[in-house]
Amino acid sequence: MSSYLIFTFIILLCLLSSSFSSSASLHNATNESVTFRPQHEIQKLKLIREHLQKINKPAIKTIQSSDGDIIDCVPSHHQPAFDHPLLQGQRPMDPPEMPKGQSQENESHEDFQLWSLTGEFCPEGTIPIRRTTEQDMFRASSVLKFGRKIRRVRRDSSSNGHEHAVGYVSGSKYYGAKANVNVWTPHVSPELYGDTNPRFFTYWTSDAYQATGCYNLLCSGFIQTNNRIAIGAAISPVSSYKGGQFDISLLIWKDPKHGHWWLQFGSGTLVGYWPVSLFTHLMEHGNMVQFGGEIVNTQPDGSHTSTQMGSGHFAGEGFGKASYFRNLEVVDWDNTLIPISNLRVLADHPNCYDIRGGVNRVWGNYFYYGGPGKNSKCP
C-alpha cells in the first residue's frame, strides 16, 4: 500500500447526510409534557452518554462561545490522546526542530476562532477542547460512526460519493507540506457540528479509514500542545464574495529527531502532533501530498447535491470570488521547506467543482478551486 501525506485542512468540508431521531410527546392541560422514546432510541441515548463520559474530559475552566460552542479547558496530560494504549502515561513533547526556509507570515495571531473573541483563554498547562453534546452525537448514524469518515475515501477512488478538486505532487519522499488556505462559509448540510460555520479541523487514519482515526480530538491520537486554539471550533473572520479575503497558513511536518508529525498554524504557533507510533506507512515519509477540497454527494432525490465547495464558485472567477490555496510548499529530506514543482491538478467532476493552477512571484504555486455542485451542467 502506498503511503499518503494528505494535507487535511480542507477547511470547508462537512459531511452531508443528517440523521433525525423521532419521539412522541403527551401534553396535559397544565402544559406539562412527558416524552415517550422508542426502545432503540433509549438504548442509543445510553450509549451516547457512556461515550460522552469518555471523550468529554473534566475541565478546570469552561468558556461559552457566541456560536453556541462550549470550550472546556482540560489539563494537557488528561486529554483524549493519552487514553490510547500506546500513549498512556506519556506527556506532551517539547517543541521540535522547525523546518528551515520558513518565510514570515503577516498573520501570526492565534485569535482566529469565534470562541477566542470572548477575550478568555485556557490557562497554561491546559488545552481548549470543544465539548461534544448529545445533539452532536444524535446527528450521526450511529455511536460507532460518530466523528469518523465513511470508509475508502482515498483520492484514487470516487466511491461512496466522495468528490474532489485537488492539487497534488508525487514521485518523491515528502516530510511535510505547507499552504495558505482561503477561508469561506459554503452552503453545506451540517452533520458533525450542527451548523454551517467553517471549522479548523483535523483528521487522521493509519489504515485508509477502515478502523482507525477520527476528526479532531474525538478519539485517542492527536496530542495537542497549544492552549489558545480549539481544534474543531469555528473560524472568524471569513472571506466574502467581491469583498475582503482571509486565509490561514498551515504546516504539517515530520520532526527529524523523534519522527512525530507536527501541526503549525501561522508563522510559528504549534498546535500539537500525531505520534509516529500511530502510523505504519507514514513512519518514514509520505510519497504523495494533496491539497484541495472534498465533498460527499449522497445524490438526494437522484440528483447531484447542491453542497458547495470552496466559495461555491468555479475556479475561473478568480480572486475575490473563487477560493484558493497559495504558497504551496513541501518539506524535503533535509527538513527544509521548498516550493512545489510539477504541481498537478485534478477534479473528479469538473462540471460540478473544478480547479485551475498557476504560479507567480507573490503566491508561488497556487490554485483556485470549488464550485456550486448541482447546476445546469451538473444535474
Q: Would you say the C-alpha torsion 287, 331, 256, 293 has a positive or negative sign?
A: negative
pLDDT in tens, 326-337: 999 999 999 999
**Which grid coordinates are listed for 363?**
503566491
Which is it for strands 223-224 and 176-182: parallel, antiparallel or unpaired?
unpaired
Three-point CA angle 150, 351, 340, nearest 5°: 70
- Which range (20-34, 306-320, 340-354) has the least confidence? 20-34
- 329 and 92 in contact (C-beta within 8 Å)? no
Which pLDDT value is given to residue 260?
A: 96
Three-point CA angle 337, 229, 83, nearest 5°: 95
Could you tell me the pLDDT band of residue 165, with boundaries at 50, 70 and 90?
very high
Task: Report the mean per-residue pLDDT for the chain.
Answer: 86
Q: Is the pLDDT of residue 300 over 70?
A: yes
- 179 and 293 in contact (C-beta within 8 Å)? no
**Which grid coordinates are listed for 74?**
482540560
pLDDT in tens, 265-298: 988 899 999 999 999 889 999 999 999 999 989 8
- 159 and 280 in contact (C-beta within 8 Å)? no
Q: Where are the domains of the chain?
A: 56-103+112-149+162-371
- 153 and 6 in contact (C-beta within 8 Å)? no
CA dist., res. 357 & res. 326, Å (int): 10
DSSP states along 227-290: SS--TTPBB-S---TTS---EEEEEEEE-TTT--EEEEETTTEEEEEE-GGG-STTTT-EEEEE
- 250 and 265 in contact (C-beta within 8 Å)? yes
Could you tell me the pLDDT band of residue 13, with boundaries at 50, 70 and 90?
very low
Q: Would you say the C-alpha torsion 85, 89, 92, 96 has a positive or negative sign?
A: negative
Give the single-character DSSP code of 76. Answer: G
Rounded average pLDDT over 45-67: 94
Exposed, middle or buried, 224 (CB in 10 Å: 0-12/13-18/19+)?
buried
**Paired residues of 215 in beta bridges:** 203
Backbone angles phi, psi at 301, to 5 degrees: 60, 20
Could you tell me the pLDDT band of residue 211, with boundaries at 50, 70 and 90?
confident
Could you tell me the pLDDT band of residue 27, with boundaries at 50, 70 and 90?
very low
- 278 and 235 in contact (C-beta within 8 Å)? no
